[in-house]
Amino acid sequence: MDLLREALVWLADGGNWAGPTGITARLGEHLMVTAIVVALACLLAMPIGVWAGHRGRGGDLIVGIAGAARALPTLGLLTLAALALGIGLVAPVVALVVLAIPPVLNAAYSGIATVQPSVTGAARAVGMSSRQVLAQVQLPLATPVLLGGVRSATLQVIATATLAAYTSNTGLGRYIFAGLKANDYPLLIAGSLLVVVVALVVDALFAVAQRFSVRHR
């Protein structure tokens, strides 16, 4: 695997980690974009999903919207956003938020809605208000599911943020596009490896967090 070795050599070269287009900077951009996107998606989708789950209505609508949004082609959203908003971070962030919303929305709704009615009923029976039921019973019980939704959204964004480099000067995808354009396979493979490692590490962190949340609920 000559190409893989060349890619590893490139990664091992400290010079490639420094500077404004170095690996450290690109990695930082990638993680920052991911964090912003996931935070925005949670801010937008979580309240809606939780509310719908709590009231037990709008479920079909939410599942329907989430399903339809899943079919939205990433590349199309990115180019559309770029045509409307120009270069810079705003266009890819907007496009990626649209992609990150369905898993969060779905998880928020189903996490709350699937809490056993006998449990919520018991909570009400001991005199809890609707708000208390939500805050002290449903939300804690739904935490692992909510985390699962955030986890899938995050992983999706990490992988998809590579495409953002098509319209914006940002993230690890830059190495993939630069390698593609210049026929530089080691660069391309190195860029891909970095994305894979980031995704696996973040996934592992989520797995730990999820386990923790199950144990302590």
Partner 1 sequence: MKWLSQNWPMVIDLTLDHLWMTVQITVLTVLFAVPLARLSMTNRWLRAVAVVFTNSLYAVPSLALFMMVPVLVGVPLRSTTNVVIVLTLYGVAVIWRSTLDAFDTLPPRILDASDAMGVTRWRRFWSVELPLASPVLVSALRVVLASTISLITVGAVIGVPSLGLLFTDGFQRGITAEVITGIVVVVALGWLLDRLVAVAGAAAMPWRATTPRRSRRLARRVQAQSLRGTDGSAA
Partner 2 sequence: MKQRMTFGAVAAVATLTLAACGSSDTIDADPSADNTAGTGGGSEELVIGSQDYYSSEIIAEIYAQALEAEDYSVQREYRIGQREIYVGEIEDGSIDLFPEYTGPLLQFWEPDTEARLMDDVYDALVTAAPQGVSILDQSPATDQDSYVVTQEFADEYDLTTIADLANVTQDITLGANSELESRPNGPDGLKEYYGVDVGFTPIEDGGGPLTVKALQDGDIQLAVIYTADPSIDTNNLVTLEDPEGLFLASHVVPVASERVDADAQAIINSISAAMTPEILRELNARSVTDQSPAATIAADWLADTGMVS
Q: Could you list the residues that contact partner 2 (CB under 8 A)?
A: 1-4, 82-83, 86-88, 165-167, 169, 174, 177-178, 180-186
Among 163, 170, 174, 210, which residue sits at the site for partner 1 (rule: CB under 8 A)?
163
Alpha helices, DSSP H only, in 13-138?
23-55, 59-70, 74-85, 90-113, 117-125, 130-132
- Tokens, residue 175: 């190495």
Query: If binding is defined by CB under 8 A, does position 179 make contact with partner 1?
Result: yes
Binding-site size for partner 1 (CB under 8 A) equals 49
**For partner 1, the closer CB: 94 or 133:** 94
| Continuous segment of H or E residues that includes residue 158 | helix 139-160
Residue 26: half-sphere exposure toward Cβ, Cα within 13 Å: 25
Non-local (6+) Cβ contacts of 136 within 8 A are 123, 128
Cβ neighbours of 35 (radius 10 Å): 12
- Amino acid identity for residue 185 in this structure: Y
**For partner 1, the closer CB: 85 or 128:** 85
C-alpha angle 7/207/65, rounded to 5°?
95
> C-beta of 30: minimal distance to partner 2 in Å?
16
Binding partner of residue 174 among partner 1, partner 2, none, CB under 5 to 8 Å per kind? partner 2
Query: If binding is defined by CB under 8 A, does position 113 make contact with partner 1?
Result: no
Binding partner of residue 147 among partner 1, partner 2, none, CB under 5 to 8 Å per kind? none
Binding partner of residue 87 among partner 1, partner 2, none, CB under 5 to 8 Å per kind? partner 2
Among 26, 54, 151, 174, which residue sits at the site for partner 1 (rule: CB under 8 A)?
151
Q: What is the CA radius of gyration of the chain?
A: 20
**Cα four-point dihedral sign 198, 24, 22, 76:** positive
Among 167, 168, 170, 210, which residue sits at the site for partner 1 (rule: CB under 8 A)?
167
Among 42, 143, 189, 210, which residue sits at the site for partner 1 (rule: CB under 8 A)?
189
Q: Residue 38 and residue 182: Cα distance in Å, rounded?
A: 32
Instruction: Point out which residues bind partner 1 (CB under 8 A).
Output: 3, 67-68, 70-77, 79-80, 82-84, 99, 102-103, 106-107, 110, 148, 151-152, 155-156, 158-163, 166-167, 173, 176, 179-180, 185, 188-189, 191-192, 195-196, 199-200, 203
